[in-house]
Amino acid sequence: MRVEWNVMLKLPGLIDPHVHLREPGATQKEDWDSGTSAALAGGVTMVLAMPNTNPPIFDAETLDIALNAAKVKARCDYAQYVGAGPDNSDIVPSLAFKTAGLKMYLDSTFGELRLDDMTLWQPHFEKYPKEYPIVVHAESRSMAAAILFAAIYDRPVHIAHISLKEEVLLIKAAKERGIKVTCEVCPHHLFLTAGESPSPIALSGGSAATEVEAGRGVRDEGESAGRSEVRPRLATQKDVDALWENLDVIDCFATDHAPHTLEEKDSDNPPPGFPGLETLLPLLLTAVNNERLTIDDIIQKSVINPRKIFNLPEQPETWIEVDETAEYEIKASEQFTRCGWTPFEGWRVKGKVKKVVLRGAEAFKDGEVLAEKGFGRNVR
């Protein structure tokens, strides 16, 4: 008889520097309770929440709305970003010590967080304290402009969710010249390409990414990609390959967990965004199994680098236990996110989170979230 020794792999709790928890304003999609439950189920013990809620988080009053909800409901540790708007560059620096960082939407967005031209970027880069990060949503040439601002004002800037070959190569060149730029990549930009509906990941051999049929730009402006609608858009195989080839340039993995309900995603005008908290680690561990990544890469990009870039405290007595040998299919029906779907439905992965210990307490075990609402702490 063969004896199976199921030795668990022990890792530090992961940090996700980019999540949308939808509260305040859209709790039918997610809230601080369901979103942080999804985090724990995914082995994530700390999340940094984005400010484009309703209302958006852009001053002391709106920051309190988010932090009050988080205090009552969060099950894992967290911090909340504040958003840069056209009129708040004088007030956000005074909130820096209470927030994850300043988020700037440099491509199109709406409402209070709209920055129509570069004269509105300038005061934020000038005034926001250098010891706290500025995170930018800036694609392609906007990203180049953001890096120029980092150089001019000699301050760190973190580029959210890079997806293109041109982006990773420019960041590499900027880093080589000493510009203080860091960046993150999302699993969906590493494992999915634009084109036909994605096919399941191969557990062994070959590229984990799907075949590309239609690249970025092939789709007409305004034409919907259905459930695959996401910003930045899914890119081409050439872009995906460039991200994998330049993993050493990429500082962090981030999910950009952005849940929308299935009804919204299947409508005529699907909003952009994917859930991602519960699929991050299984996908990365599968890539480790396929020898495209190492466990050290995961620790570096999901723990050590985010802690350093975002100036985050260590979480004492915090770890996760993973069964590296567990093979299974990803199923939205088993997830804690409220949105009820995943772009990775049916993908076969290898590596399952079995247990999460947060600050000495069992927070997740064998499919069950054990941390109470309100157990999560604001790390700022």
Name the site residues for Zn ion (rule: CB under 5 A).
256
d(CA 80, CA 168): 27
Is residue 282 a contact partner of residue 324, using CB atoms and an 8 Å limit?
no
Nearest CA among 97, 101, 157, 162 for reference residue 125: 157
Residue ranges of E strands in 87-168? 102-105, 134-137, 157-159
Minimum Å distance from CB 145 to Zn ion?
Answer: 19
Is residue 370 a contact partner of residue 364, using CB atoms and an 8 Å limit?
yes
Q: Which is nearer to Zn ion, 52 or 305 (CB)?
A: 52
What amino acid occupies position 15? Answer: I
Minimum Å distance from CB 259 to Zn ion?
Answer: 11
How remote is the C-alpha of 259 from its chain's centroid?
12
Minimum Å distance from CB 65 to Zn ion?
Answer: 19
Minimum Å distance from CB 162 to Zn ion?
Answer: 13
Instruction: For residue 286, give both structure tokens.
Output: 């599968």
Can you tell me which residue has the tokens 């989170």?
353
Is residue 78 a contact partner of residue 36, using CB atoms and an 8 Å limit?
yes
Q: Which is nearer to Zn ion, 255 or 286 (CB)?
A: 255
Q: Which is nearer to Zn ion, 274 or 336 (CB)?
A: 274
Q: Which is nearer to Zn ion, 22 or 73 (CB)?
A: 22
Minimum Å distance from CB 135 to Zn ion?
Answer: 9
Element (DSSP H or E) covering residue 284: helix 280-289
How far is CA 371 from each of CA 138, 216, 316, 355, 374, rounded to the nearest angstrom? 36, 42, 16, 12, 8
Per the omega criterion (within 30 degrees of 0), is the bond before 24 cis? yes
Q: Which is nearer to Zn ion, 283 or 356 (CB)?
A: 283
Q: Which is nearer to Zn ion, 137 or 350 (CB)?
A: 137
Minimum Å distance from CB 207 to Zn ion?
Answer: 26
| Residue 257 DSSP label | B
Minimum Å distance from CB 50 to Zn ion?
Answer: 5
How far is CA 286 from each of CA 7, 10, 24, 162, 230, rounded to the nearest angstrom? 17, 16, 34, 21, 23
- Closest residue to Zn ion, judged by C-beta, is 256
Q: Which is nearer to Zn ion, 184 or 256 (CB)?
A: 256
Residue ranges of E strands in 279-360? 319-329, 348-358
Minimum Å distance from CB 133 to Zn ion?
Answer: 15
Minimum Å distance from CB 85 to Zn ion?
Answer: 17
Phi and psi at 256, nearest 5°, equal: 50, 40
Q: Which is nearer to Zn ion, 195 or 275 (CB)?
A: 275
Is residue 79 a contact partner of residue 377, using CB atoms and an 8 Å limit?
no
Quick check: helix, strand or coil at residue 44? strand
Q: Which is nearer to Zn ion, 256 or 323 (CB)?
A: 256
